[in-house]
Amino acid sequence: MKERILQTLSDLRKYALEKGYEVTLFYHEEDSYLMRFANSSISLNTNEHLIRLDITAYSGRKRASYELITDLGKLDEMKKGVDIAAEMVQHAQPLTYQPTVPVFAKSFSDESGFDAVLANISNEARLQYFNTAAAGLETEAVKLSGIFSSGTNIIAQVNTRSEHTQYFKTSDAQVTAVLSHSALKWEVTAEQSANKKPDLDPAALRQELAFLVEHYQADAPQQIPLGSYDIVFGTAATAEMLGFMNWIVFNGGSLKRGFSCLAEDKLGKKVFSDKFTLVDDPTRLETFPFKRDFTGIVRKPFPIFQDGVFQAFTWFQDDADEFGAKATGHTVGHKSLVLKGGDRQDVKSLPDLVKSRRDKDVLYIPFLHYMNIVNPSKGILTGSSRFGALLLKQDGSVTVPFNVRLTQSLLDIFGDKVAWLSRATVPYNSSQSYGARNPTALIVPKFVQVNDLEISHSNSSY
Amino acid sequence: MLDKIKQNIQRLQGLGATYVDTRWYPFEESNNLMMWNGNLKSATSARESGVGIRVLYKGAWGFSASSDLSDLAALYDKAFDNARVAAERVTFPIRLAEKDAIQAKFESPCAVNPFEVPLADKVAFLKDMDEKLNQPGVFQRFCDMTFVRKQIVFVDSEGSHIEKIITEAFSTMQVSGLDDQGATYERSFRPSLKGDTRGWETLDRQLFSENAERIVKEMNQVRAADECPKEDRSVILLPNIMFLQTHETIGHALELDRILGYELAYAGGSFVTLDDFGKLRYGSQKLTARADATLPNSPGSFGYDDDGVPAQDNLLIDKGILVGAITGRQMVEEANARAKRQIFKGSGGANRATSFYRVPIERMTNINIDPGQDGTLDDIVSHTEKGIVLDTERSWSIGSNREQFHFGTEIGWLVEDGKITKVVRNPTYKGATLKFWNSLTAVGDRSTWQVKYVDNCGKGQPNQSMQLGHGVPVCRFDDVRIGE
């Protein structure tokens, strides 16, 4: 299949050259499977096999694109797409800067993230996974929801500047299991990310769910008072906040457009806690990495924050072209963000956290729902807790809080208020399936405790 | 193609499928042009075609989709196999509400097909707007237009055959500026949906020109304004934020699949329960809301949904009391059975998919608030002692059961003793949904009522982004916390 894809791109390149066009060709193929659960049933079992071809034509400083969903047997349709893009670019308006047309110095192929066993996991195996993960936890009132999303993702590139190609192939799986009480409306979750079959461990997922369900069934939920709390964030919450950093903290284009809370004068300065070290690390297979970016830049570990000190903005090629900056190898579908673990070795799991000694009450927030940017210049985000929050009392007891809202600046959350990060880190799968498949994961500490954060709203029910 | 579709539907029925439908998209084309600071950053067109097949077998759904139609039979077999495995874990066997077999055609009103407008004309429009936005104080200028045109052929095993051609045009422009600390402030414009059509003709150059001048002026006012106070006030929501308040805390909260727990893995649930229909005081007596898919000029109107059910105008909230939901064929059957009473008399015709390769789910149509008796915006302001007028969403965040929310807007005007006194920056407001809607104390008349569109409503897994509308008046809510 790889040969056929690259041959098709080569044929299209030849066609474009014969016509005198300047084009880049970006091929995306996904074979996606999703089994969705709700109310303890499989509410949807679906698959899609889609091939997209994105053709960008250049003429001097002009640029235009045409994308089609097609298949490899339709070379004439693809050639027509090349013609359309070439026609469009004649009517485009010149940019004020020269857009880069990449030149691949040599061909590159990376299939290190592909596991044929994971890619070909069967319907029956997906169902068996969920049956194991939820075994004995469902009741008349407690219902299972979730997804098992898996698939294969192929990206291939060529352009008229060079005969060399880039080819990326990966497999991925994202599992979310939710147990919810149909009358009381509480909900708890556990998630897994896999880039190879052995990563899937339904028994471990069940263990996490069982622990939370035990507390949620035993304790009456309560509205907690507004005010300041020491908060332990779980992996999903931490990953969500780091995801927003992509846009309003260290993105060079956002900086230049006034949509960043950090200015250039913060480079080399301490911005966050000295416990905060963030790297874009494409060597970590768990993040479904791109080892080269889409312009051919070789990607290596790229420090963004080191011990809280701001190291560098990241630049997409087009932003770099526009603002006269140097591209940093971040013209990719997603980065491979890794937040380094801390020095807390004794807290590897939620039971460890619950039983650990504490000198005051601690609020555990595993997940932040519907987070959004309130004020980019100040780095202020808002979002609500969801899925299994716990109030860990000073005396060792545990209560279940109704959901709360946090409206805080990232600069505060990851600043000097950081108390500790767990040594243990885990991949968190943050993939969305809007548009083309793009498996994405971050590596984050299992827990991050931040002290003295304000709760701005506290629910009186679910 | 149609013969092959019908043959395969019959074949799966022979294998035991209780229902099969097919959505064949002969084409879906889109075109996006985006100009940022005078640079045509995006000049993108796209075209796709394909088939999505939905099979109901032993009370479970299977779905399969592909752009490759060379082996249609295999695609039907895959959908059937997906349903066969799904049927191994069923707790409530799916049944579909009754509907008529429909043979029909629908075409959304469009005077000028945007795909027949030369690219050069579209670029010229953007360039003209960009130049009008290029004024003192403006740091960033953004203009965007997106067009969609698609043909959908729906065929099901109950004898329906519906063909639709839908055309949409979406456009927006925005400016931002910085204060002396380098903080950014935005002001934007999206046209209201007026008239009876939704093609290229909806891009009114004169309207954009007038509003370009207005948003630059208002953005510069915001840059120099004081910070929004943190206190309780009446909030007066203009249609450009009222639509989102309605969308997030009435629309999503009343999607029946959310109410029944079918979105708990992602989008969330709803604070509403089946017991609430006919009883729950959702808002004050001034609140009447409806799901009206019959407005001619909105993307929330589509003729027939993707279950093949005709578009409808259904009450959701009648003088404050919850009476209806946003529904499709599957969910109304399950809701009535679970409630052990007939809450819903049939599908509300709101099951839609965003593309051939996604499955239909309950989506908002046009979720509207009826105009009220409290006069114009000026009338409402003049009867407000201590308030703030808010316009245009800047941020939005809602609890997972839609029980509470936090919104930020681009601009606020403080109101003291019936008069607008000054502009404030970084305005926000928050509340608990039921308390908020029950604090509705003024609803503007028809002169304040505007239809706004949403072109990117996210829901479902695999994820879907949907287009819809909201017809809303100016509304006032009392005792709301602002400025947090």
Domain-wise residue ranges, chain B: 2-224, 227-482
Judge whether B409 and B427 are in contact, CB under 8 Å.
yes
Judge whether A65 and A99 are in contact, CB under 8 Å.
no
Per residue of chain B (484 residues), give pLDDT as tens.
999 999 999 999 999 999 999 999 999 999 999 999 999 999 999 999 999 999 999 999 999 999 988 899 999 999 999 999 999 999 999 999 999 999 999 999 999 999 999 999 999 999 999 999 999 999 999 999 999 999 999 999 999 999 999 999 999 999 999 999 999 999 999 999 887 888 999 999 999 999 999 999 999 999 999 999 999 999 999 999 999 999 999 999 999 999 999 999 999 999 999 999 999 999 999 999 999 999 988 999 999 999 999 999 999 999 999 999 999 999 999 999 999 999 999 999 999 999 999 999 999 999 999 999 999 999 999 999 999 999 999 999 999 999 999 999 999 999 999 999 999 999 999 999 999 999 999 999 999 999 999 999 999 999 999 999 999 999 999 999 999 9
Domain-wise residue ranges, chain A: 2-210, 227-458
What pTM does this model have?
0.96
Q: At what angle do helices B2-14 and B72-86 cross, to 10 degrees?
A: 30
Looking at residue B168, its pLDDT comes to 94
Candidates B36, B71, B31; CA nearest to B48 is B31
Which residues in chain B touch residue A377, judged by CB atoms under 8 angstroms apart?
Answer: 181-184
Spatial distance between the Cα atoms of B129 and A174, rounded to a whole number of angstroms: 44
Candidates A404, A436, A370, A373; CA nearest to A226 is A404
The pLDDT confidence band at residue A361, using thresholds 50, 70 and 90, is very high
Judge whether B445 and B417 are in contact, CB under 8 Å.
no
**Chain-chain contact of B265 with A65 (C-beta, under 8 angstroms):** no
Interface of A with B in 30-69 (CB under 8 A): 32, 34-51, 62-69
Q: At what angle do helices B205-223 and B119-133 cross, to 10 degrees?
A: 30
The pLDDT tens digits of the residues spanning A88-128 come to 999 999 999 999 999 999 999 999 999 999 999 999 999 99
Interface of B with A in 383-422 (CB under 8 A): 394-401, 403-404, 406, 408
Phi, psi for A71 (deg, rounded to 5)? -145, 165
Spatial distance between the Cα atoms of B141 and B39, rounded to a whole number of angstroms: 10
The pLDDT confidence band at residue A7, using thresholds 50, 70 and 90, is very high
Cα torsion at A417, A420, A421, A423 (round to 10°)?
160
Candidates A173, A221, A224, A222; CA nearest to A200 is A173
Higher pLDDT, A169 or B197: A169
The residue-averaged pLDDT of A49-70 equals 96
Spatial distance between the Cα atoms of B172 and B145, rounded to a whole number of angstroms: 7
**Chain-chain contact of A50 with B67 (C-beta, under 8 angstroms):** yes
Interchain contact B78–A (C-beta under 8 A): yes
pLDDT greater than 80 at residue A384 = yes
The bridge status of strand A448-458 relative to strand A227-233 is antiparallel
Looking at residue A329, its pLDDT comes to 98
Give how far A344 is from chain B: nearest CA, Å. Answer: 31
Contacts of A265 (CB under 8 A, 6+ apart): none
Spatial distance between the Cα atoms of B467 and B366, rounded to a whole number of angstroms: 10
**Chain-chain contact of B462 with A259 (C-beta, under 8 angstroms):** no
Beta pairing partners, B44: A65, B32
Looking at residue A438, its pLDDT comes to 94
**Residue with tokens 């495995």, as numbered in its chain:** B85
CATH of domain B2-224: 3.30.2290.10
User: What is the ipTM score, two decimals?
Assistant: 0.94
Amino acid found at B418: G
Q: State which residue of chain A sits closest to B127, comparing Cα positions.
A: A93
Looking at residue B297, its pLDDT comes to 87
Backbone region of residue A336 per phi and psi (left: phi > 0; alpha: psi in -120 to 50; beta: other values)? beta
Which residues in chain A touch residue B65, judged by CB atoms under 8 angstroms apart?
Answer: 46-50
Backbone region of residue B137 per phi and psi (left: phi > 0; alpha: psi in -120 to 50; beta: other values)? left
Looking at residue B108, its pLDDT comes to 95
Secondary structure element (H or E) that encloses residue A215, with its range: helix A202-218
Spatial distance between the Cα atoms of B423 and B425, rounded to a whole number of angstroms: 7
Nearest to A372 among B46, B359, B397 (CB): B397
Beta pairing partners, A411: none
Instruction: Provide the token pair at A221.
Output: 């939920």
Which residues in chain A touch residue B147, judged by CB atoms under 8 angstroms apart?
Answer: none
Looking at residue B296, its pLDDT comes to 85
Judge whether A449 and A230 are in contact, CB under 8 Å.
yes
The pLDDT tens digits of the residues spanning A207-221 come to 999 999 999 988 889
Look at the domain A2-210 and name its fold.
PmbA/TldD fold (3.30.2290)
